[in-house]
Amino acid sequence: MKYLQQRPSGLWYYNRRIPQELRAHFGGRLHKLKSLQTRDKGEAIRRAAQEARLDDALWRSLRSPKAESLGLTTRETMDAAKALLATLGIAPGDTLKAYADGEPDPMDRLTEALETKYGDEYLSLREDGDDVRVARLLSPVEREAHRILREDPDSPRVLLSAVVERYLADNAKGRQRAFVSHTKGTIAQLEAITGDWPLEQYKRTHANAFRDHLTAKGNSTGTVRRRLAVLKAVFNVGRREFDLQSLPNPFERVPIAGEGQDEQRRSSFTQEELRALAAACQARDDDIRHIIAIAMDTGARLGEVVGLRLEDVNLTHETPHLYIRPHASLGRTLKTAASERKVPLVGLALWAASRAVESATSKKLSGGWLFPRYATKTRIKATHASNTINKWIRATLHVNKTTHCLRHTMKDRLRHYNVPEEIQHAIGGWGRQTVPQGYGEGHALGQLKENLERIVLKAG
């Protein structure tokens, strides 16, 4: 906003003071004033932000003879190059346009500017056609300006950082804070190791270097595989969306030595521990304990429980149940398609769900969430809930077990009572196929209830 200025005509302008030490690069001008070609304030803000980003990159590069010394990323170098061309009144791809229209080559403007800066050395190297020495003489930003001036604007280089934005924009989870953070964090790790390159420049050596770096830092093989999966997915979006299907994906099928051998199997809770946990939950009778109790006797994931809305809990049905489903517009998603399901409420879970509904209904600011402490309009705070609950479980039972162990425990309990695998999947959302939702479809709720009642703890 501080760079915006509106004229009496209603047009918005980008108006920014040029730093004193850089004014010599701009003919001594004190300010940069540019029409944003819009009367819409929201659009003006967006365009001004873009102008500011380009100027920041250019000015940062001008403060040092070599952009490398400042650690400019490839994206920042490109932004600075675009801004440099803009100061000369030209834009990327103008050379090709000039050739097509029979106009003078705009490269002459860039050449004049560089000749003023570097003098006869630059001019001599240009006349000799010594492109190698010219490249050594110029800064990375100036080299990039040379390149993009000749580049076809309809077929620009595609940087991995640009693909990430498309990947997030098209992904159903692209607005979830945790998903965005995990994706961008993975890309940042790769850039720190190899740099931010055009897609065609990434090779298998980059993927191997990324794997080796994570392994050397002590990450488990599972973590390394998940990070590689992000890179693979982002790269595939780039290949598809930017017509680069012939480009191999270097992040596919990357081998990881000893993969899976370091996996630690989660321990199940014993019957005695479950009884102690149930008693402690009923004694405290608050939202945290309600979450634990529901997870204990349904086998649901903690995030599935925390993200429940009041309308997802049906206590008046002949078979009281939870409807575990996504609410994408509210930031509530599920791990897999098979995770959407209806789960009967029996035993401790029925008690906890009833108490949670009563509590949430009495809160005017619940926003329709069953557990408003950990759910908002844009975010499900499953990790926050997990940290609090796991700490309490360890302190209460003096065991190193977590809420996810409750899900493993449910699986073991179902097996112990020889519950058919199809029913197990319907209750826990395991497997690949989505169980048809709705009473009378798939496995009827009454059938699921009968099997759950055989194994769950009874409310005290």
Query: Is 3:15 a contact under the CB 8 Å cutoff?
Result: yes
What does the pLDDT read at residue 211? 95
Q: What is the domain-level CATH number for residue 415?
A: 1.10.443.10
Of 33, 39, 30, the C-alpha closest to 14 is 33
pLDDT in tens, 415-439: 999 999 999 999 999 865 544 444 4
Q: Residues 405, 280: one domain?
A: yes
Q: Residues 368, 277: one domain?
A: yes
378 or 101, higher pLDDT: 101
- CA dist 325 and 309 (Å) reads 10
pLDDT in tens, 206-265: 999 999 999 999 999 999 999 999 999 999 999 998 888 899 999 999 999 999 888 776
The amino acid that residue 30 corresponds to is L
What does the pLDDT read at residue 434? 46
What does the pLDDT read at residue 451? 93
Q: Residues 412, 301: one domain?
A: yes
pLDDT in tens, 299-333: 999 999 999 999 999 999 999 999 999 988 887 88
- CA dist 89 and 457 (Å) reads 75
Q: Residues 184, 144: one domain?
A: no
Sign for the CA dihedral angle at 294, 388, 403, 397 comes to negative
Neighbours of 32 (CB within 10 A): 17
139 occurs within a structural domain: yes
264 occurs within a structural domain: no
Q: Residues 276, 415: one domain?
A: yes
251 occurs within a structural domain: no
Q: Residues 223, 164: one domain?
A: yes
> Over 70: is that where the pLDDT of 448 sits?
yes
Give the domain-ending residue among 150, 173, 208: 150
What does the pLDDT read at residue 68? 44
Q: Residues 425, 332: one domain?
A: yes
Q: Residues 386, 302: one domain?
A: yes
pTM for this one?
0.60
Q: Is 106 helix (H, G, I), strand (E, B) or coil?
A: coil
Q: Residues 296, 218: one domain?
A: no
Task: State mean pLDDT over 131-139.
Answer: 78
Mean pLDDT of the chain: 86
Q: Is 257 helix (H, G, I), strand (E, B) or coil?
A: coil
411 token code pair? 């699986």
Q: Residues 409, 276: one domain?
A: yes
460 occurs within a structural domain: no
378 or 250, higher pLDDT: 250
Q: Residues 38, 105: one domain?
A: yes
b/e map 70-94, b = 16+ CB within 10 Å: eebbbbbbbbbbbbbbbbeebebbb
Domain count, the chain: 3
- CA dist 126 and 131 (Å) reads 7
Q: Residues 335, 354: one domain?
A: yes
> Over 90: is that where the pLDDT of 11 sits?
yes
Token pair 């169980």 is at which residue? 435
What does the pLDDT read at residue 27? 64
Domain that holds residue 224: 160-241
417 occurs within a structural domain: yes
- CA dist 261 and 243 (Å) reads 39
Q: Which pLDDT band holds residue 178 (cuts at 50, 70, 90)?
A: confident
